[in-house]
Amino acid sequence: MTTAPEMSARQLGKQRKRDAIRSAAAELMHVKSFDDITMREIAQLAGVGEATLFRYVPNKHDLLHVVFGDELDAVLDRIDEQDAALSAAQGDALTGTHFVERIRAIYLERSAFYRRNPENASRYLREGFSLSPLSARNVAQGDRTISMTRSIVEDGQQRGLLDRRAEAQHVGTNCHAIYMHEIDRTPVRGFDPDRIWERLGPRLDAQLRPLVLLPRD
C-alpha cells in the first residue's frame, strides 16, 4: 500500500519535473526561434529524458502555449494592478486624457510582452485566430484586454469626459485590432520590432483622442 507521505513525495517530484520543463522551454523560447528548438534540446536543458518529457507534454506547440500563455496572464495581472493604482492616484481631478493614458498603458505593456521575443510571441498571439483547441486561452486573454479598455471608456463616458456616442465595446475591439495589425505587419514590412510602440501609439491616439471632451467653462 502507498502511504500518504509517499504520494506527496511522488507528486512533488512530478511538479519539479514540470517546473524544470517549463523553465527550460521558456529559456530557449526567449533566445531562439520556435522552429529551431527541438524537444531533445528542451529535455536536455530540463535534465529529463525525452521519454519523460513526452509524458508531461505531447509536443513543442503545447509548450509555446504554456510559456507565453503564463507570461501573458502575468502581464495582464500587472496591467490590472497598475491601472488600479493609476486610477486611485488621480482622485477626482480627472480629464478625458486621463482615460486615454490608461488605455495606452495597457498596450504599452502588451508591446513590451511582444518585444521580448517578437517571432515567438507573435506566433503565440496569432493562435487566437486559429481553430486549435489550445486557442481558448489566447482568445480569453484578448477578450480580457478588450474588456479592460471597454471598462475604462465606459468610466470616462459616465463621468462626462469621453464622448458617449462611441460604443465602448467597439473602441476596445478596435484598439486590440490595431495592436494585432501592427504585430502582423511588422515582419512583413521589415519594421523594427523594438520600435512597435512608435507605430502603435499614434494609431491608438487616432482612435482615442477624438473621444476626449473639452472641459466646459
Instruction: Quote the domain boundaries for residue 43.
Output: 4-56
Q: What is the pLDDT of residue 188?
A: 94
> Contact 102/86 with Cβ under 8 angstroms?
yes
- The answer to whether residues 17 and 104 belong to one domain is no
- The answer to whether residues 77 and 183 belong to one domain is yes
Q: What is the pLDDT of residue 1?
A: 46
- The answer to whether residues 65 and 82 belong to one domain is yes
Q: Given the C-alpha cell 509555446, which residue does it identify? A: 64
CA–CA distances in Å: residue 122 to residues 2, 162, 196: 46, 32, 12
Asked whether residue 188 is assigned to any structural domain, the reply reads yes
Q: Buried b vs exposed e over 38-74: b needs ≥16 C-beta within 10 Å?
A: ebeebbebbebeeeebeebbeebeebbbbbbbebbee
- The answer to whether residues 180 and 110 belong to one domain is yes
Mean pLDDT, rounded, for 63-90 = 91
Residue 91 pLDDT level (bands cut at 50, 70, 90): low
Asked whether residue 144 is assigned to any structural domain, the reply reads yes
> Contact 180/151 with Cβ under 8 angstroms?
no
Q: What is the pLDDT of residue 7?
A: 56
Q: Provide the sign of the torsion angle of the four alpha carbons 65, 66, 67, 72, taken in this order.
A: positive
Q: What is the pLDDT of residues 10-44, one digit of tens each?
A: 788 788 888 999 999 999 999 999 999 999 999 99
- The answer to whether residues 103 and 203 belong to one domain is yes
Q: Facing residues of 59 across strands? A: none
> Contact 20/58 with Cβ under 8 angstroms?
no
Asked whether residue 80 is assigned to any structural domain, the reply reads yes
Q: What is the pLDDT of residue 139?
A: 92
Q: Provide the sign of the torsion angle of the four alpha carbons 197, 117, 138, 24, taken in this order.
A: negative
Spatial separation of the C-alpha atoms in residues 209 and 203, rounded to whole Å:
10
Asked whether residue 173 is assigned to any structural domain, the reply reads yes
- The answer to whether residues 85 and 43 belong to one domain is no
Q: What is the pLDDT of residue 87?
A: 79
Examine the pLDDT at 217 and tell me if it is beyond 70. no
Q: What is the pLDDT of residues 114-168, one digit of tens each?
A: 999 999 999 999 887 877 788 889 999 999 999 999 999 999 999 999 999 999 9
Asked whether residue 217 is assigned to any structural domain, the reply reads no
- The answer to whether residues 28 and 69 belong to one domain is no
Residue 94 pLDDT level (bands cut at 50, 70, 90): confident
* Rg of the chain on CA atoms, in Å: 21
